[in-house]
Each structure stands twice: as C-alpha cells, then as structure tokens.
Amino acid sequence: MVLSGYDNPITLFGVYFSRAKEDVTHDPTTLALATSTPDGFPSVRMVLLKAIDERGLVFFTNYDSRKGHELAHNPNAAMCFYWPKQEVQVRVEGTIERISDEDSDAYFRSRPRLSQVGAWASQQSAPLRARELLLKRVTETEARFDGVEIPRPTNWGGVLLVPKKMEFWQGHPGRLHDRVVYERQGDGWTTSRLYP
C-alpha cells in the first residue's frame, strides 16, 4: 500500500525517492515531462530531477527549446516518475516558474565542463543539418572559453514545477493497485483514494 501518515505529498515523495536511490540499476531522477503547445497538442520527453524542496521539483533546460517555448505559452505541466524495483509511480501536475538566476548559476557551475560547453553550443530543438556542425560549435565554444570559467547562458536555467496535484501509485498483484491522490487546498492538501 501507499505509505500513510503524511500530510504533505512532497515529504512522502522524498521518502519514496530515497528508497529509489538504493536501486543502482535505475536512475531515480529520470522523469517524463509533459507540456503542450498553445493549441493544446501534448508533447513529452525524459528529463532529470535536479532538486526538490517544499516549493516543488526542479529541472534545467534551454529556455529556447521546444519545451521552453511550450512552457512560456502554457505554464502548466505534468511529471511522471516510475521506480520499477519498488513498483511505484508518482504523477505530479502543476504550474511552472523559473528559479532565480543565482540558483541557476550555482547549478551551472556544478556541471561538468563539457556539459557547460554543450549548453552554449547546442541550439536545443532547432533543426541540425549535420552532426559535424554541432561538433564544430563545441570546438568553437571550447576555444572561446579556453582557460576561463564558463558563464551560464542567459537562455538556460532552472524550472520549478509547483505541484497542485500528486498521485502515488503502488503496484499490487492482480492489478489491484493502490492509488492515493493529494490535491492542494489553500495552504494544505486533501487526500483521496482511487480505484486501480
């Protein structure tokens, strides 16, 4: 059954997330992020969770990417985590806001240098005629910042999903799964159980 006794789903998420970290065969930070176009057409891709606190869940992206543009036009998004060893799925729905430049800068400085170079070299989601053009941009970026600290590009940074709804799904034999939903009500949360 879904763990009980938690008034706040972010706290409960932290418990499951800590357990998922024990599974060395699966990266627990991997999540499916769903956004939609201004006319409501959905799109989904895998990203990595980089922080979680009482406000919500943080990932990083190029703001000029497809997801960046979609979130700018429609700041509603959903995440889905699946941790197979625990047979647990967590769905999160909410609104998006950018984190502070200072927090984005701090995370950018912690990234491997090649990842920093890639943030400058890649025009994420734009058409690419040939991979060689990307590699050329990487070489040019490495030369540009040779011997100096690489600053964060202004079009790259952190995005916070502020949860409005979180569902915890625990698998059980016979597809008699356990599903518990938390929904934000003012400063607190209500809970309910769903049929599998």
Q: How far apart are CA 11 and CA 83, in angstroms?
A: 17
Cα→Cα distances 175→46, 87, 132, Å = 26, 12, 48
Give yes or no for a contact between 70 and 36, defined as CB atoms under 8 angstroms apart.
yes
Please report, as a single letter, which amino acid is at residue 62.
N
Q: Smallest Cα–Cα separation from 60: which of 17, 104, 121?
A: 104
* Cα–Cα distance measured from residue 84 to residue 65, given in angstroms and rounded to the nearest whole number: 30
Q: Return the SS3 of 122.
A: coil
Ramachandran area for residue 28 (φ above 0: left; ψ -120 to 50: alpha; else beta): alpha
Torsion of CA 140, 45, 106, 63, to 10 degrees: 70
Active-site residue, 137 included: no
Q: Element (H or E) spanning 125, and its range?
A: none
Question: Of 175, 179, 184, 193, which one is the catalytic site residue?
Answer: 175
Q: Report the catalytic residues.
A: 175
